[in-house]
Amino acid sequence: MPYKLTVNGQPATVDVPEDTPLLWVVRDVLGLHGTKYGCGMALCGCCTVHINGEAARSCTTSIARAAGKHITTLEGLSENGTHPVQVAWQEIDVPQCGYCQAGQMMSASALLAKNPHPTDADIDAAMDGNICRCGTYLRIRKAIHKAAEIAAKQTKEPAAAVHS
Amino acid sequence: METTLVSRRSFLRASVIAGGGMMLAYYIEPMEKVLAAQFGPPVTLLPASFITIAPDGVITIIAKNPEIGQGVKVMLPMLIAEELDADWKDVRIEQGDLNPAKYGLQIAGGSTATPINWEPMRQLGAQCRQMLIGSAAQTWNVPESECTTTASRVHHVASKRSATYGELASKAATMPVPDPKTLKMKDPKDYRFIGHSMANPDIKKILTGKPVFGIDFTMPGMLYANYEKCPVFGGKVVSANLDEVKAQPGIRHAFVVEPSGDPSALVGGVAIVADSWYQARHARDNVLKVVWDEGPTAAQSSELYATTSVEMSKNDPGQTLRKDGDADAAFGTAAHVVEAAYSYPFLSHVPLEPMNCSAYFKDGKLEVWAPSQTPASGVGQTAKTLGIDQKDITLHLTRMGGGFGRRLTNDYMVEVAVIAKQIGVPVKLLWTREQDMAHDFYRPAGFHFLKGGVDADGKLVAWRNHFVTFGEKGRFAQSAGLSGEEFPSRFVPNFSQLSSMMPSGVPMGAMRAPGSNAIAFVMQSFIDELAHAAGKDPVQFRLDMLANEPLPSAAPPPGTPVAFAPVPFDAARMRGVLTTVAERSGWGKTKLPKDTAMGVAFHFSHRGYFAEVAEVSVTGGTNVKVHKAWVVGDIGSVGGINPTAAENISQGAVIEAMSHAMGYEIVIDKGRAVQSNFHQYPPLRLTQAPREIDIFFVKTDNPPTGLGEPALPPMIPAITNAMFAVTGKRIRSLPLSTQGYSWA
């Protein structure tokens, strides 16, 4: 049956069985490939998206549960990679293979939206559901602090941020 | 005991049944030979194959090797651009398709990219630079020797003329390709890229979710496939309810595939092809019922291997890998003798991107989009399985969501090719995580029965290792071997390295730092035991061993290609990294908190010398925390060619070592893998990662060598040796989680 949802600010209607995971709707129906499949059991976090602003694992969220909600994927974080988390990830040169990083950035951006100045302990708690098989954890921690700094600067100087 | 005996009988029966058939086929060649076989006939690399300079000055450089996250997609072009003397802002990097006739060897494995390509890639850049100089010299009618270059520009200083590479490119293309012997290469002090951090060319795409990985590939009209195999290794399909599967929504095809006879290429199974992957998976999970012929491996288990290894250790060894002096006699006169049995389990690679591949078969030709570490061998196996010519296969390399050695084997490529040929439309095959863990080519388990003796002065005088491993008829299973040269070989006067083999139906293969990832744990832990028995400091005991005059090295097997020939262990280089890591970590000088200690280990592999220290606490007897780790490596004259990537990958090696130490274990029961997903096979998580991992490279006057693998092996014993220093309990098997330990 058809389900309506909002993905990255755009309304979408998808006609898939009710148990179809949001992950496969996003990837194979809507063609947004940033969100990754890693385990299918909410264990690795590489399918992380925001559902109404909360970080959620799309591989175990059925379309029936996602219907009517606002979904943000990595592609919706910014138009051209200018979200503070993306800028920080580039500056710190976080990725090795890069496969988990969409999920890492979605968890990190959800954290920063609620907690603009997270401590190391806050970061550990928020990021524990995201596996990085290459082991970029030290850079992820560093990049989240960096993103917090960048975001703080943008809040102070909003005009500069838009044009940077 | 009765169970053991029964199991042992069925084990022996199984090995007799399987001796000449299916199981033996897993004993494919050692990885060095597999990699070497990809060389093919020697190829003359031409600058025009790798470098294109447009009139507007844009320089496109081909990255020929597969990218698994090791950073080779920027590293090889850096070598070209350095000697080309390009302006980096002009450089665009493109992934090359598979084309060995044009690009030479294209593999990601064995930390070989640097040692193999260091000279030829720089040479290509230098040749192209010389052709640009030749073009300018002709245009200006001046001697080439008076021309110089800076950042994408040729100058003739005397006449104050200069031109951009873009302006000179079309004429340069007509110049003869210079003889490499005539080229003057840069003085390393003038390097602008080598040894300087350069950006990952895919980073923007990764950070904005653009399709770069194999799993992201799509094309119009593409269908999606899943391929279900027998959970028991080597099992075959007897029958399947294909009609019920085909009746499910979205299912286009369901058919049985017969095995090819080469289990590293194609084992039998059921292909399900649907409009969407989730439909194929849903049918597989909820509807598909297969009757399997499980075959002889169903009688095998990890427990049986362990029991058998103990029995075999009591018998005479099957092979003598090296013998110096008389270890058995020396034990009789040693002041302290230590005996210990060490073991480690099978491991799965678990790259985060599960196995996948896309293919389109049309008019007798196959096009493949492949995440593969060894694409050429994949094409060879695919051609053979499909019965088509290799030249009728076009292969595009995709970025990979990790490799770690899993994608050295191309079974998933052959599977999608068979499916594509059957259905005639574009198709993407994707395995589930459970299939990925159930059908790996696992890091082999292994069993070491060790005896060591130190004299009254605390000097190591005797060493005997009986290594019980997997193999048959004198051939080790892949990555299940041990070299007679493995340290402490050559540094102990009475030394016996021995092995015995048991057959197994478990598919095995190379995993990041193959062999070394397990052997370092055994050797460096037992050396630590001997240091303790000798009453010596673990660093000093190792330095004393390394101060011995080494016994002669054995000659490499005939016909080994130079790039893969074993390199003799150089004790001076190891002393250098060991001394440095002791200094950087404050070994023996730092006052550590309660329940906290440092552990040290070193290992030589893939031409790299690494010594590492871990600062670890064990609280409440079982709660383990790695507070800080120090990695010191000697990989030649440059350190890391791309320092940002070198630091990242070395820190990643520590994180991976921690996963090996604590959580990774594949148990075989009834001929199948017990663990199925990350809840049972946990990679390290961010919370558990150390706050700090110090990476340092000692630069020595040696050619640059690879870094993907050699940083990993020493960290496992560094951690377990530190745990011993805290608790007094020696860790002799992995993983720690099965012995009651967990991360604090």
Of the residues B184, B204, B234, the one at which a domain ends: B184
**Burial of B384 (C-beta count, 10 Å sphere; 0-12/13-18/19+):** middle
CA distance B409 to B29: 12
Q: Does B655 touch chain A (CB under 8 A)?
A: yes
C-alpha–C-alpha distance, residues B707 and A76, integer Å: 36
Does residue B258 sit in the same domain as residue B343? no
Contacts of B685 (CB under 8 A, 6+ apart): A128, A130, A131, A137
Contact B652 A97 (CB under 8 A): no
Nearest CA in chain B to A46: B352
B300, pLDDT greater than 60: yes
Asked if B402 lies within 8 A of A37 by C-beta distance, the reply is no
Q: A107: distance to nearest CA of chain B, Å? A: 13
Chain A residues in contact with B692 by the CB 8 A cut-off are 138
Is the CB of residue B297 less than 8 Å from the CB of residue B23?
yes
Q: Higher-confidence residue: B31 or A38? A: A38
Q: Which residues face B610 on adjacent strands?
A: B603, B633
Residue B9 lies in a domain: no
CATH code at position B446? 3.30.365.10
- Does a structural domain hold residue B716? yes
Residues in chain A closer than 8 A to B250 (CB atoms): none
Is residue B561 within 8 Å of residue B567, measured between CB atoms? Answer: no
Is the domain of B381 the same as that of B404? yes
| Token representation of residue B507 | 């598919």
- Residue B190, domain member (yes or no): no
CA distance B140 to B148: 13
My answer on whether B654 and B731 are in the same domain is: yes
Top-confidence residue, A164 or B249:
B249
Interface test with A, best of B197, B278, B281 (most A CBs within 10 A): B278
Check if B238 contacts A (Cβ < 8 Å). Answer: no
pLDDT higher than threshold 80 for residue B140: yes
Closest CA to B397 of B386, B407, B382, B411: B407
Q: Based on the fold, state whether residues B152 and B285 are members of the same structural domain.
A: no
B400 CB near a chain A CB, below 8 Å? yes
The angle at the Cα of B271, spanning B267 to B275, to the nearest 5 degrees, equals 150
Say yes or no: B534 and B512 in one domain.
Answer: yes
Nearest to B624 by CA among B688, B538, B550, B709: B688
What domain count does chain B have?
Answer: 3
Q: Which residues constitute the domain of residue B150?
A: 31-184
- How high is the pLDDT of residue B41? 64
B211 in any annotated domain = no
pLDDT digits (tens, 9 = 90+) for B471-521: 998 899 999 999 999 999 999 999 999 999 999 999 999 999 999 999 999
What is the pLDDT at residue B555?
A: 77
Q: Which helix (H) or strand (E) holds B140?
A: helix B113-140
B590-623 pLDDT, tens digit each: 999 999 999 999 999 999 999 999 999 999 999 9
B91 found inside a domain: yes
pLDDT tens per residue, range B372-430: 999 999 999 999 999 999 999 999 999 999 999 999 999 999 999 999 999 999 999 99
Q: Give the helix, strand, coil percentages of chain B, each rounded to 5.
A: 35, 25, 40
Same domain, B248 and B387: yes
B contact residues 213-232, partner A, Cβ 8 Å cutoff: 213, 215-216, 218, 224
- Residues B390 and B478 grouped into a single domain: no
CB B494 within 8 A of CB B329: yes
pLDDT at position A157 is: 72
**E strand intervals along chain A:** 2-7, 10-15, 48-51, 54-57, 70-72
- The C-alpha atoms of residue B661 and residue B724 are separated, in whole angstroms, by 14
Residue B29 pLDDT: 47
- For residue B341, the surrounding DSSP H or E stretch is strand B336-344
B97 touches B131 (CB < 8 A): no
Of the candidates B278, B652, B693, the beta carbon closest to that of A96 is on B652
| Section B284-295 average pLDDT | 97
Residues from chain B contacting residue A19 (CB–CB below 8 Å)? 282
Range A18-28 average pLDDT: 97
Instruction: Give pLDDT, residue B561.
Output: 63
Record the tokens describing residue B22, joined without a space: 């299916």
Q: What is the mean pLDDT of chain B?
A: 93
The reply to whether B235 and B168 lie within a common domain is no
Give the model's confidence band at B21: pLDDT under 50 very low, under 70 low, under 90 confident, else very high.
Answer: very low
Q: Measured between alpha carbons, how far is B582 from B317 in angstroms, rounded to an integer?
A: 38
Structure tokens at A21: 């995971």
Size of interface A-B (CB pairs under 8 A): 186
Q: What is the pLDDT of residue B10?
A: 38
Contact with chain A for residue B430, Cβ under 8 A: yes
CA dihedral B39, B44, B50, B51 (to 10 degrees): 170
B306 lies in some domain: no
Transcribe A42-61 into DSSP letters. Answer: SSS-TTEEEETTEEEEGGG-
Full DSSP string of B400-450: -S--TTGGGS-HHHHHHHHHHHHH-S-EEEE--HHHHHHS--BBPPEEEEE
Strands B91-95 and B393-397: unpaired
Positive or negative, the Cα torsion across B473, B475, B481, B487?
A: positive
Cα separation, B582 vs A72, whole angstroms: 48
In chain B, positions 685-744, which contact chain A (CB-CB < 8 Å)? 685-687, 689-693
Residue B470 and residue B381 share a domain: no
- A chain contacts of residue B196, beta-carbon cutoff 8 Å: none
To the nearest whole Å, the CA of A157 is away from the closest chain B CA by 24
Residue A164: its pLDDT value, please? Answer: 38
Helix pair B302-313, B2-18: axis angle to 10 deg? 90
The complex's ipTM works out to 0.96
Of A43, A105, A123, the CB nearest to B679: A43
Binding-face residues of B in 567-626 toward A, CB within 8 A: none
* Best of B67, B70, B207 to mutate (most A CBs within 10 Å, chain A): B207
B59-101 tens-digit pLDDT: 999 999 999 999 999 999 999 999 999 999 999 999 999 999 9
Q: Compute the distance between CA of residue B562 and CA of residue B557 in angstroms, rounded to an integer.
A: 11
Among B139, B167, B184, give the residue marking a domain's end.
B184
In a domain, B367, yes or no: yes
The pLDDT of residue B2 is 31
Find the range with the poorest average confidence among B92-96, B435-439, B452-456, B549-553. B549-553
Q: Is the pLDDT of residue B443 over 70?
A: yes
Residues B423 and B478 in one domain: no
Q: Measuring CA to CA, which residue among B180, B184, B116 is closest to residue B148?
A: B184
Contact between chains at B352 and A38 (C-beta distance less than 8 A) = yes
Cα dihedral A94, A96, A99, A103 in deg (nearest 10): -20
* pLDDT confidence tier of residue B32, bands split at 50, 70 and 90: low
Judge if B277 and B158 occupy the same domain. Answer: no
Q: Which helix (H) or strand (E) holds B602?
A: strand B596-605
> Which residue type, as a one-letter code, is found at position B403?
G
Q: Does residue B744 register a pLDDT over 80?
A: yes
| Counts of helices then strands in chain B (DSSP H, E) | 20, 28
**What is the pTM for the complete model shown?**
0.94
Structural domain ending residue among the three candidates B430, B465, B496: B430
pLDDT of residue B33: 58
- List all residues 6 or more positions away from B142 whose beta carbon is below 8 Å from its beta carbon: B156, B158, B159
- The whole-angstrom separation of Cα B657 and Cα B705 is 21
A93 contact residues in B (CB cutoff 8 A): 197, 199-200, 203, 644-645, 648
Are residues B342 and B359 located together in one domain of the fold? no
pLDDT digits (tens, 9 = 90+) for A43-71: 999 999 999 999 999 999 999 999 999 99
Residue B579 belongs to what H/E stretch? Answer: helix B571-585
Q: What is the pLDDT of residue B3?
A: 32
Interchain CB distance below 8 Å, A98 and B401: yes
Domain-located, residue B501: yes
Cβ neighbours of residue A142 under 8 Å, at least 6 residues apart?
A92
